[in-house]
Each structure stands twice: as structure tokens, then as C-alpha cells.
């Protein structure tokens, strides 16, 4: 069965066509600069064919998806009727959309209620849903929420210590993010260990331009570092992560910064970029650290330290730890970050094998045989996870 996975942003559309249940990728790509003067479409098929379109306009997401369909019909598909379902990534499901679901009007209405919680991403996902429904009439659409994996976090873990009515009336609480990725790598970890996930405590570290850590107990998320939005927790590419909230009121009072300026500061100008004043890209900073650049070192030290702190906290939350997983752009590709972090986890009995750790983007055990906790690099695959959940639902 052929499934299409869509991930729509405000001016982007990422897609993969997969053959399920095997999970083979038949074609994938992304459309960028939708609504701008000139768009970009990068498309790749399983047989290695690559197409790059840089001279066309994609005024809307519908234009973009129509262009993708044309490419798919040029060799990959005979007819669009072969697409039997569409799985959509939705970053926020709020409190009510706690499970992967088959989309009907009531689901769209509920997703629209979530707009205030994530005005940047969620409206774009709904746009994607509407376009897919229009261009593929009668084909089931399934939504997979980044937040649903974290709905098992207990109340004392998701509540903020502010007046309770802000939770009951305004739904302010921890929702977390990257749930599909954390769940995917935790399940894979259990598979690799040949153990029932119900018996395992795993700490999953999704380290990319956005980064988060999750404590997974018996296959369920019991705490995660991101909060109401993907800003809380670790130091990220351009996001500040944990911060004393008073920093914002202080800057508002002393510098007269308004909400928009503060929002930009903590989301776009902070993290690795803000601390180093060099780059938000971990690769660039690692090279600079190797050349002895103190600003890059300062930024990477904060980045690594926060990860250690969260792993420490989640070890206590879990009681004991069976495995730690590193995933996403930095987690999969940075021996430096993994080494710096694992060196500080002696109290847990973690011992890293530096030779094994010298790897990029590969599934590999990086702890020594006598390490008390298994440490692994497991590449994440959110598209496959979405396709698997979509397939499971439409074939039920
Ligand atoms: P993601 O958001 O998961 O795509 O991850 C993006 C991040 O991965 C960027 O900050 C890159 O700096 C980082 N990254 C990619 N490749 C490497 C690498 N070889 N070494 C260190 N960081 C990397």
C-alpha cells in the first residue's frame, strides 16, 4: 500500500511516498518558498533520480502539491489512485487530540482550537490537510501529533506552578514536542535490546536545531524537557531553553523591549547562536572549538551541560536507567557532544567506547560492554513513524 506523508510549514511542504508495511521510500522531497517570487522544489526517487526546480512559482501549497504529483506521475506512480492514505505531521494537538486519528471535520475543528498554542506551525498543517483532501478526494487523511506521546506525563510533571486557573481556562501546561521521534527511537531501542519496552527505562535525547530529552518508562513518556512550546529545556540552535522568566520582565522594564522583540530574542537570537555570536550550526562551532575559539567553546559547554543536567534529573525520575539514546542531527552526528555528555555520567555507571562513538548517522552502540547503562546512537525517522501509524489506522 502506497502512503504519502506530508509535513507542511508556512512556506514549505515536505513529503515522502512510502510503500507500506515495508517502509520503502519510493520518492521524497520538499517544496520551499511557497508564496514567494520564485519557489524551490527538490525531488528524489528510489532509483536515484534527482530533480531540482528553481524557476517556477508556487503561489500556494496546492500549487506545490500539484507539482509534486506531476513529478510522482513521471515514473513513480501510474495514477494518483495508487495513494491509499495521507499521514500528516501536526506539531501540536493540545489536550484533546491525544492520539493519531483519522481526520474528519470535528478533528479539523479541534486542531483549529489549538492555533493559539502554536500559531507558527499548526495553521500550516491544517492547510496541508485541506489541500490533500481537495487534491485526493476520498483518500483517508491521518494526523500524527508530536505532542500525543507526552500525554502520559503525570499531572505533577505537566503543571506549571502558576495559578491553577491558567491551566483550566487557558490550557497552559507542558505539552512537549518531538514525541514521534522519542517514541520511535525508544521502541527501536527495545527492539535492539530484545526486551519488552514495558520493562525498560530509557532516556531519549533528540538533539537537532530544536532539542529535547524525554524520560520513557515502560514505553510511555513520563517527562520531557519541552513545555507549552518547543522553547523550554535544552539550549538549542537559536532558542534559549530554560531561563528565569524574570529575565523577560527585567528586559521589558529596563530596556523597554516589547513582546515581539522578546519573542525574537528567545526564539531566534539565543541558544548556540546567541552565546557564540558565531553560528547556530553545531558543525561550525565544533570546528571553531577545535581551533581554540573561546566563544564557540562557551556555547558548546552550555549546550552539553544542559543535556547532562536533564539526564541526571530524569535518572531520578525513572529510578534506574537501562539505556540512553542519542538521535537527530547533532545526536546522530556529533561524537564530540556525545563524548562530552557521557564523560559526565559516571554516577550512572555510563562508560563510553570512544572508538565506537566515532560514527555519524548510523545505528550503533557506543557504550563499553561493562557500562551499567547501554548508550546507543539511533537515527530517527519521523516520516516512517508517521507512515507506520497511518498504515496501522487505515488497515485496522
Ligand atoms: P536537525 O534539526 O535534526 O536536522 O539537526 C540539525 C543540526 O544537526 C544542525 O545544528 C547541525 O549543526 C547538526 N549536525 C548535522 N551534522 C552534524 C555533524 N556532522 N556534526 C555535528 N553536528 C551536526
Report yes or no on 162 lying in a domain: no
Residue 304 lies in a domain: yes
165: in domain:
no
Look at ligand 1, atom 23, and give the residue with the nearest C-alpha.
330
Angle at 104 between CA 98 and CA 107, to 5 degrees: 35
pLDDT at 6: 97
Provide the pLDDT confidence category of residue 117 given band limits of 50, 70 and 90: confident
- CB of 332 within 6 A of ligand 1: the answer is no
Is residue 136 within 6 Å of ligand 1 at its C-beta?
Answer: no
| Non-local CB neighbours of 232 within 8 Å, separated by 6+ positions | 174, 225, 226, 241, 242
Q: Which atom of ligand 1 is nearest to the CA of 380?
A: 3
Kindly state whether residues 117 and 211 are assigned to the same domain: no
Q: What is the pLDDT of residue 118?
A: 83
Mean pLDDT of 169-190: 96
Q: List, in order, residues 6 or more apart from 161 with CB less than 8 Å away.
A: none
Q: Residue 185 class from Cβ within 10 Å (0-12 exposed, 13-18 middle, 19+ buried)?
A: buried
Question: For residue 237, which atom of ligand 1 is closest to its CA?
Answer: 10
Average pLDDT, the chain: 96
Give strand pairing partners of 101.
143
pLDDT digits (tens, 9 = 90+) for 321-357: 999 999 999 999 999 999 999 999 999 999 999 999 9
CA 380 / ligand 1 centre spacing (Å): 13
Q: Is 90 exceeded by the pLDDT of residue 296?
A: yes
Q: Do 214 and 129 belong together in one domain? A: no
C-alpha 4 to ligand 1 mean position (Å): 26
DSSP 73-135: TTTT-S-GGGEEEEEEEES--TTT--S-EE--HHHHHHHHHTGGG-TTTHHHHHHHHHHHHHH
| Nearest one of 330, 311, 305 to 225, comparing CA atoms | 311
In angstroms, rounded to a whole number, what is the distance separating the alpha carbons of residues 7 and 144?
A: 10
Residue 278 has pLDDT above 90, yes or no: yes
Q: Is the pLDDT of residue 147 over 90?
A: yes
pLDDT at position 365: 98
CATH number of the domain that 81 lies in?
Answer: 3.30.420.40
Question: What percentage of the chain exceeds 90 in pLDDT?
Answer: 97
Residue 394 lies in a domain: no
Tell me: do 91 and 212 sit in the same domain.
Answer: no
Instruction: Say yes or no: CB of residue 208 within 6 Å of ligand 1.
Output: yes
Among 283, 285, 326, which residue has the most ligand 1 atoms within 8 Å of its CB, making it the best to mutate? 283
CB 55 within 8 A of CB 39: no
Q: Are residues 25 and 140 in the same domain?
A: yes
Q: 280 and 238 in contact (C-beta within 8 Å)? A: yes
205 and 129: one domain?
no
State whether the beta carbon of 279 lies less than 6 angstroms from ligand 1: no
Residue 211 lies in a domain: yes
What is the C-alpha separation between 116 and 128, in angstroms, rounded?
A: 18
Question: Of 145, 165, 180, which residue constitutes the final position of a domain?
Answer: 145
pLDDT of residue 121: 87
- Same domain for 253 and 352? yes
Question: pLDDT tens across 354-387, in order?
Answer: 999 999 999 999 999 999 999 999 999 999 999 9
Domain check: are 365 and 297 in the same one? yes
Regarding the beta carbon of 230 and ligand 1, being less than 6 Å apart is answered no
**CA–CA separation, 135 vs 103, rounded Å?**
15
Residues 141 and 258 occupy one common structural domain: no
284 has which bridge partners? none
Asked, for residue 14, whether it belongs to a domain, the answer is: yes
pLDDT at 152 over 90: yes
Would you tell me how many other CB atoms lie within 10 Å of the CB of residue 250? 12
Instruction: Say what the pLDDT of residue 119 is.
Output: 82
Residue 108 CA to ligand 1 center (angstroms) comes to 34
pLDDT greater than 90 at residue 10: no
Return the percentage of the chain with pLDDT > 70, whole number.
100
Residue 329 in contact with ligand 1 by CB distance below 6 A: yes
pTM for the whole structure = 0.94
286 CA closest ligand 1 atom index: 21
In a shared domain, residues 214 and 302:
yes
- Considering 110, 145, 180, which residue would you say is the last residue of a domain? 145
Cβ atoms within 10 Å, residue 96: 12
Kindly report the CA angle at 126 between 86 and 7, in degrees rounded to 5? Answer: 50
Is the omega angle on the peptide bond into residue 21 within 30 degrees of 0, that is, cis?
yes
Q: Domain residues for 109?
A: 2-145
State residue 352 phi and psi, 5-degree precision.
-95, 140
* Residue 281 in contact with ligand 1 by CB distance below 6 A: yes
Looking at per-residue confidence, does 10 or 67 come out higher? Answer: 67
Q: Is 332 helix (H, G, I), strand (E, B) or coil?
A: helix
Q: Does any domain span residue 345?
A: yes
Q: Ligand 1 within 6 A of 282 CB? A: yes
Verify whether ligand 1 is closer than 6 Å to residue 362 (CB atom). Answer: no
- Are 324 and 242 members of one domain? yes
If asked whether residues 266 and 374 sit together in one domain, one would say yes
Q: Starting from the edge strand earliest in sequence, which strands make up the sheet with 201-207, in order?
A: 220-224, 211-217, 201-207, 323-327, 374-377, 364-365
Q: How far is the CA of 207 from the centre of ligand 1 (A)?
A: 8
In this prediction, residue 189 carries a pLDDT of 98
- Asked if residue 128 and residue 203 are part of one domain, the reply reads no
What is the residue with the minimal CA distance to atom 17 of ligand 1?
333
Parallel/antiparallel/unpaired status of strands 13-19 and 39-45: unpaired
pLDDT digits (tens, 9 = 90+) for 202-240: 999 999 999 999 999 999 999 999 999 999 999 999 999
How many Å lie between the centroid of ligand 1 and the Cα of residue 81? Answer: 37
Work out which ligand 1 atom sits closest to the CA atom of 285: 12
Ligand 1, atom 10, lies closest to the CA of 281
What ligand 1 atom has the least distance to the C-alpha of 206?
Answer: 3
Q: Which of 125, 145, 165 is the last residue of a domain?
A: 145
Own/partner contacts of 343-346, CB < 8 Å, gap of 24 or more, are: 344/304, 344/308, 345/308, 345/311, 345/312, 345/373
Residue 145: pLDDT band (50, 70, 90) is very high
Considering 63, 146, 223, 322, which one is annotated as catalytic? 146
Total count of domains within the chain: 2
* Cα gap 39→60, rounded to integer Å: 10
The response to whether residue 209 sits with its C-beta less than 6 Å from ligand 1 reads: yes
Residue 182: other Cβ atoms inside 10 A: 29
Q: Is residue 130 pLDDT above 90, yes or no? A: yes
Q: Is residue 81 annotated as a catalytic residue, yes or no?
A: no
119 belongs to a structural domain: yes
| Residue 186 Ramachandran class (φ > 0 left, ψ -120 to 50 alpha, else beta) | alpha
Amino acid at each position: 500500500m502506497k502512503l504519502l506523508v506530508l509535513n507542511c510549514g508556512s512556506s514549505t511542504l515536505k513529503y515522502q511516498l512510502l510503500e507500506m508495511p515495508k517502509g520503502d521510500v519510493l520518492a521524497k522531497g520538499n517544496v520551499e518558498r511557497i508564496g514567494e517570487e520564485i519557489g524551490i522544489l527538490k525531488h528524489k526517487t528510489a532509483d536515484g533520480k534527482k530533480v531540482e526546480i528553481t524557476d517556477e512559482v508556487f503561489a500556494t501549497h496546492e500549487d506545490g502539491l500539484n507539482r509534486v504529483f506531476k513529478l510522482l506521475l513521471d515514473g513513480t506512480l501510474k495514477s494518483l489512485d495508487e495513494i491509499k492514505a495521507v499521514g500528516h505531521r501536526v506539531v501540536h494537538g493540545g489536550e484533546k487530540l491525544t492520539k493519531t486519528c483519522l481526520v474528519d471535520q470535528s478533528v479539523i475543528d479541534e486542531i483549529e482550537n489549538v492555533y493559539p498554542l502554536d500559531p507558527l506551525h499548526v495553521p500550516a498543517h491544517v492547510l496541508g490537510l485541506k489541500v490533500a483532501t481537495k487534491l485526493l478526494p476520498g483518500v483517508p487523511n491521518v494526523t500524527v501529533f508530536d505532542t500525543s506521546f507526552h500525554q502520559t506525563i503525570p499531572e505533577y510533571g505537566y503543571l506549571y506552578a502558576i495559578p491553577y486557573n491558567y491551566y483550566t481556562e487557558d490550557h497552559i501546561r507542558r505539552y512537549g514536542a518531538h514525541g514521534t521521534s522519542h517514541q520511535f527511537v525508544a521502541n527501536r531501542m527495545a527492539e535492539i535490546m530484545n526486551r519488552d519496552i514495558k520493562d525498560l527505562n530509557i532516556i531519549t535525547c533528540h538533539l537537532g536545531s530544536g532539542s529535547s530529552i524525554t524520560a520513557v518508562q515502560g514505553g510511555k513518556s513520563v517527562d520531557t524537557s519541552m513545555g507549552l512550546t518547543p522553547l523550554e529545556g535544552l539550549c538549542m540552535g537559536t532558542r534559549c531553553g530554560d531561563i528565569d522568566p524574570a529575565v523577560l520582565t527585567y528586559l521589558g522594564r529596563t530596556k523597554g523591549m516589547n513582546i515581539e522583540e522578546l519573542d525574537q530574542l528567545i526564539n531566534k537570537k539565543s541558544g548556540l547562536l546567541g552565546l557564540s555570536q558565531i553560528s547556530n550550526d553545531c558543525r561550525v562551532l565544533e570546528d571553531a572549538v577545535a581551533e581554540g575559539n573561546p566563544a564557540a567553546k562557551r556555547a558548546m559547554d552550555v549546550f552539553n551541560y544542559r543535556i547532562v543536567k536533564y539526564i541526571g534529573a530524569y535518572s531520578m525520575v525513572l529510578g534506574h536507567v537501562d539505556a540512553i539514546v542519542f538521535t537527530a542531527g547533532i545526536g546522530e552526528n556529533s561524537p564530540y557532544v556525545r563524548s562530552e555528555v557521557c564523560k559526565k555520567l559516571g554516577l550512572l555507571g555510563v562508560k563510553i567506547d570512544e572508538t565506537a562513538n566515532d560514527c555519524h548517522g548510523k545505528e550503533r552502540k557506543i557504550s563499553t560492554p561493562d557500562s551499567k547503562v547501554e548508550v546507543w546512537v539511533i537515527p530517527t525517522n519521523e516520516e516512517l513513524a508517521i507512515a507506520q501509524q497511518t498504515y496501522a489506522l487505515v488497515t485496522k
